[in-house]
Structure 1
Amino acid sequence: MYFMLILYIFLLGLILGSFFNVVGLRLPKKIPFANDRSACPHCHQQLSWYENIPLLSFILQRGRCRHCHGKISIIYPIVELLTGILFALSFHIIGFQLELITALLLVSMLMIIFVSDIKYMLIPNKIFLFFLPLFIIMRIMVPLQPWWSSVLGAIIGFGLLAVIIIISRGGMGAGDMKLFGVLGMVLGFEKVLLAFFLSCMIGALIGILLLLFKIVGRKQPVPFGPYIVFAALITYLYGDAILNWYFYLLL
């Protein structure tokens, strides 16, 4: 029974991950995504249902369009698979509790942001306008302890990035600042600081690797959003264990 539930939630994540790809790619360009069918980005041929099966279609078509044989971005299956895994992992960790809704909403928002920021280096405000009210409702229904941790977390997350933007004169984007404000609401003040620290560590590590392998140049801008996404997910799912381990070392 438990295995079947995990499988169902994983499959739900795969399906929604496919939709999150569409939203992340179309929303910044203000292209309708609610009704328009998916099409090949190269030949613009509309895709049939069997070409839109999450993950499976990419594997069977060997990562290429059936019509023009243009290469399909690896981002599509990565986001689908990640969403499925994260949905299943959230259920495994949290179980059937109201907080599971918060977890699934957080994964959904972060996957859309991941796609948008990697593709365009942009996080549209509409993403925050949609998810923030839902997070506020969830934090009223399932408050953090203490309850004001969400409010303080939002202030710290937003304010910390605002100070960095001012000092660095635009070294980080306003989208990152708004994202940390929302994350502070979800995570609380202690964990939003942990998420910031982890995002810097992940960003530094990956940045060094990208430079070493000459994938990017020294002055080439790199989106910071994906690092925040992974840091936020690690913090949300494992933040308590990380903080307990850290404070244990201090004692």
Structure 2
Amino acid sequence: MFGESIELKTPEQLATMRRAGLVVGRTLEVLRDAVAPGVSTRDLDALARERLAAEGATSNFLGYHGFTGVICASVNDEIVHGIPGDRVLAEGDLVSIDFGAVVDGWHGDAAISVPVGEVAPEVAELNRVTEESLWRGIAAARIGGRVGDISHAIEAHVRSQGRYGITEGFTGHGIGSEMHQAPDVPNSGRRGKGPKITLGMALAIEPMITLGTSRAEILEDDWTAVTSDGTWAAHHEHSITVTTEGVWVLTALDGGAARLAELGVPCAEPA
């Protein structure tokens, strides 16, 4: 999808990506706190625009192939790429917020799914499984390993938790001087397959999991992907790099230290 050439970054370039990642992480926390019944997806987009301006960063979503928001806001059966607008969130909804930022030409990209008030138990469990599968994928990344190790870890965790759909046709991706780069990072796959993970590689890992089908359809707006059977979806994403000493989660405020420690994986910045 993104070609064969994989961009490798210097430690200095990764440090700039970390700055972009912190803008993303801080903004997503603000947006998480703002989610409530009666809030529209346009309200969330406006808040994200304010945060970008305050941080001195720019949007990598706005204008991307004509996209009109700085966030993607996908509600309930919307999997990804929902356009922010007049939709008002209601008690029990699940809204997935995807957000990116650019600092000095380098990109950050992450996503969270946020319950609106109290959600149904199966929706809360879907959200938990999706986020946990993201961290299992991140924890599987090693220098000298393969992208398929990440894909397998995501899939294995999802399959171990129940009958969920892993959305077909949407993957994670390389990230750096552009938002979308090689390699693709699928959410299912085999260990030992795919490109080798090397120093300087940065990846955006993003499982999109549903309560039913793995099939998606695109709405007439040519952006919003929805489940073909109307079941609900969750989406979580982080941008990472891998060092000789561990993993550095560029879009997590603590670099991923807490969640990686739970999985026995060190968090380590490039030397």
Bigger radius of gyration: 1
- Normalised by the length of structure 2, the TM-score is 0.29
Task: Select the structure with the greater relative contact order (CA < 8 A; seq sep ≥ 6).
Answer: 2
- Normalised by the length of structure 1, the TM-score is 0.31
